[in-house]
């Protein structure tokens, strides 16, 4: 196992100070798959609260190496949402429901960090009569559409986008689940605001670390994630908007599956308020603590379940060899011993053929007709949903410890 050097701390990206109270440390990382034997490259992300303005962010400095490890190690993006139940509104429909009053005919609509373009495609589908101009701004053109114009840009440095909007300013800017990823949310909003038309609107959606989140099973979500540099409540988002010369004119808290969502509409304020804004007391530290407690309970419950099966003389299969697997094995040496003794066999779709401590990882398909008792290891809700679906018709269905409690 190797650990990236992350000893230095960043400045608070809201107030610029560097006085932190550390709340917890998230152990993230990736497998180095260049050799047959997997090696874990761990990255520790320290989540801290600014003692000056109360903003919560990862205070670990994001180096080029960390960005590379986080964004370019895995070609398949994990699904963000679980499947929408029949008859329910999809997350993208819910976004449009929230901001549709701000869409005017002939509007110039720009999605910053559009990704696969699902929000833009929803708008395109819902308002064919409005003659909208649709644009995506992102690192890469993942949409490849004839009707959506792509502008390549570094989302951490939007200062160069001005030339694209010289002749037609932005009427509706959209950015969903991006503001938690960028290095400086204030600069990100400032650069968008500079290119906004006089009466333009910005729609932002971020994961909600406010009070709503305390009601959820946060261990199933990726609310706390190495890619999420910033953690927001309505209070902190409001303070950040003010620093960028914007006001929150409408907001909504909602929950989809286990994902707490915060939506806001921002409008330019009449005066630029760049003076230090203190966020004040907010419930965010509670949310962070809760998630770590719930996650540790998951590790303990999984350990107990596996050890009990081994004691009963079963051979156990562990399905899904990712970050949760790494932390599970790290938390209990007995499990590593059982892998080495082949009382535990490992299965994974994409890592099959690699070895872990010299033991070959088997393809998931081998679980289909297998006598051993398998356990689904990943805890992230959409991943477990997908694995449960894949294994639905298998002879012996793997155990999902969460569907039994």
Q: Which stretch binds Zn ion (CB under 5 A): 8-16, 58-66, 142-150, 239-247?
A: 8-16
CB burial of 257-289 (b: ≥16 within 10 Å; e: otherwise) equals: bbbbbbbbbbbbbeeebeeebebeebbbbebbe
- Cβ proximity to Zn ion: between 52 and 370 the closer is 52
Number of residues that bind Zn ion (CB under 5 A): 7
55/225 with CB nearer Zn ion? 55
Question: Minimum CB separation from Zn ion for residue 238, in Å?
Answer: 14
The H or E element spanning position 39 is strand 39-50
3-state secondary structure 131-149: CCEEEEEECCCCCCCCCEE
**Residue among 50, 70, 196, 328 that touches Zn ion (CB under 5 A):** 50
Q: How far is the CB of 209 from Zn ion (least distance, A)?
A: 16
Residue 18 C-beta: closest distance to Zn ion, Å: 9
Q: How far is the CB of 12 from Zn ion (least distance, A)?
A: 3
Closest separation in Å from C-beta 60 to Zn ion: 16
Site track for Zn ion across 53-92, x = CB under 5 A = x-x-------------------------------------
Which residue, 111, 272, 248, 266, is CA-closest to 199? 266
**Region from 52-60, 143-151, 165-173, 238-246 binding Zn ion, contact rule CB under 5 A:** 52-60
Closest Cα to residue 98, out of 185, 205, 171?
A: 205
Mention every residue, 6+ apart, whose C-beta is less than 8 A from residue 272: 245
3-state helix, strand and coil shares in percent for the chain, rounded to the nearest 5: 30, 30, 40
CB-wise, 96 or 244, nearer to Zn ion? Answer: 244
- Residue-wise burial string across 304-316, b where 16 or more C-beta atoms lie within 10 A, e elsewhere: ebbeebbeeeebb
313-342 footprint of Zn ion as x/- string (CB under 5 A): ------------------------------
Minimum Å gap between C-beta 94 and Zn ion is 31
Residue 16 or 78 having the CB closest to Zn ion: 16
Question: Which lies closer to Zn ion via its Cβ, residue 13 or residue 195?
Answer: 13
Which of 14, 234, 329, 346 is the binder for Zn ion (CB under 5 A)?
14
Cβ at position 276, least distance to Zn ion in Å: 8
Question: Which one, 53 or 327, has the nearer CB to Zn ion?
Answer: 53
Closest CB to Zn ion among residues 36, 276: 276
Query: Minimum CB separation from Zn ion for residue 240, in Å?
Result: 10
Residue found by looking up tokens 């196992």 in the block? 1
Answer whether 262's CB lies under 8 Å from 208's CB. yes
Q: Helices (H) and strands (E) in the chain — how many of each?
A: 9, 17
At which residue do the structure tokens 């107030």 appear?
Answer: 15
Contacts (Cβ under 8 Å, ≥6 apart) of 57: 10, 12, 13, 47, 48, 50, 229, 230, 231
Find the shortest distance in angstroms from Cβ 92 to Zn ion: 33
The residue range among 43-51, 226-234, 237-245, 258-266 that interacts with Zn ion, by the rule CB under 5 A, is 43-51
Q: Kindly tell me which of 14 and 224 has the beta carbon lying closer to Zn ion.
A: 14
Among 12, 234, 290, 387, binds Zn ion (CB under 5 A): 12
Among 9-17, 24-32, 63-71, 297-305, the segment contacting Zn ion (CB under 5 A): 9-17
Q: Would you say how long the chain is, in residues?
A: 405
Interaction between residue 52 and Zn ion (CB under 5 A): yes
In this chain, which stretch among 13-21, 104-112, 115-123, 143-151 interacts with Zn ion, using CB under 5 A? 13-21
**For residues 38 and 356, what is the distance between their CA atoms, to the nearest angstrom?**
6
Beta-carbon contacts of residue 23 (< 8 Å; ≥ 6 apart) = 47, 48, 49, 56, 285, 288, 289
Under DSSP, the state recorded for 220 is G
Helix (H, G, I), strand (E, B) or coil at 347: strand
Minimum separation from the CB atom of position 228 to Zn ion (A): 17
CA distance 93 to 88: 10
143 sits near Zn ion (criterion: CB under 5 A): no
Shortest CB 307 distance to Zn ion, Å: 44
Half-sphere exposure of 317 (CA within 13 A, CB side): 24
Query: What is the token pair recorded at 187?
Result: 């600069």
Question: Which residues lie near Zn ion (CB under 5 A)?
Answer: 12, 14-15, 50, 52-53, 55
């Amino acid at each position: 196992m190797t650990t990236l050097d992350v000893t230095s701390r960043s400045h608070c990206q809201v107030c610029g100070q560097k006085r932190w109270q550390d709340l917890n440390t998230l152990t993230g990382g990736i497998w180095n798959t260049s050799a047959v034997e997997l090696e874990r490259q761990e990255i520790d992300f320290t989540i801290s609260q600014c003692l000056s303005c109360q903003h919560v962010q990862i205070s670990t400095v994001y180096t080029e190496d960390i960005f590379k490890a986080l964004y370019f190690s895995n070609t398949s993006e994990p699904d963000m949402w679980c499947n929408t139940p029949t008859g329910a509104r999809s997350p993208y429909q819910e976004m449009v429901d929230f901001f549709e009053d701000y869409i005017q005919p002939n509007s110039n609509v720009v999605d910053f960090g559009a990704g696969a373009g699902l929000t833009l495609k929803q708008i395109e589908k819902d308002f064919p009569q409005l003659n909208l101009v649709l644009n995506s701004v992102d690192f890469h053109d993942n949409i490849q559409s004839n009707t959506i114009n792509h502008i390549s840009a570094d989302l951490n440095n939007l200062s160069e986008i001005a030339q694209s909007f010289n002749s037609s300013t932005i009427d509706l800017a959209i950015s969903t689940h991006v503001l938690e990823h960028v290095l400086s949310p204030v600069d990100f909003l400032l650069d968008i605001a500079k290119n906004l038309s006089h009466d333009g609107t910005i729609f932002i959606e971020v994961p909600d670390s406010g009070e709503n989140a305390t009601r959820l099973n946060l261990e199933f979500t990726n609310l706390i994630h190495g890619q999420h540099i910033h953690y927001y409540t309505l209070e902190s988002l409001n303070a950040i908007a003010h620093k960028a010369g914007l006001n929150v004119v409408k907001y909504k808290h909602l929950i989809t599956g286990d994902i707490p969502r915060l939506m806001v509409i921002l409008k330019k304020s009449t005066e630029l308020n760049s003076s230090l804004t203190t966020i004040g007391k907010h419930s965010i530290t509670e949310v962070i603590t809760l998630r770590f407690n719930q996650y540790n309970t998951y590790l303990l419950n999984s350990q107990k379940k596996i050890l009990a099966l081994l004691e009963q003389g079963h051979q156990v299969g562990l399905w899904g060899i990712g970050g949760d697997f790494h932390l599970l094995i790290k938390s209990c040496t007995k499990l590593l011993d059982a892998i080495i003794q082949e009382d535990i066999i490992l299965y994974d779709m994409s890592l099959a053929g690699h070895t872990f401590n010299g033991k070959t990882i088997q393809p998931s398909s081998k679980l289909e007709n297998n006598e051993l008792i398998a356990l689904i290891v990943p805890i992230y809700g959409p991943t477990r949903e997908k694995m449960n679906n894949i294994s639905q018709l298998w002879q012996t269905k793997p155990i999902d410890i969460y569907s039994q409690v």
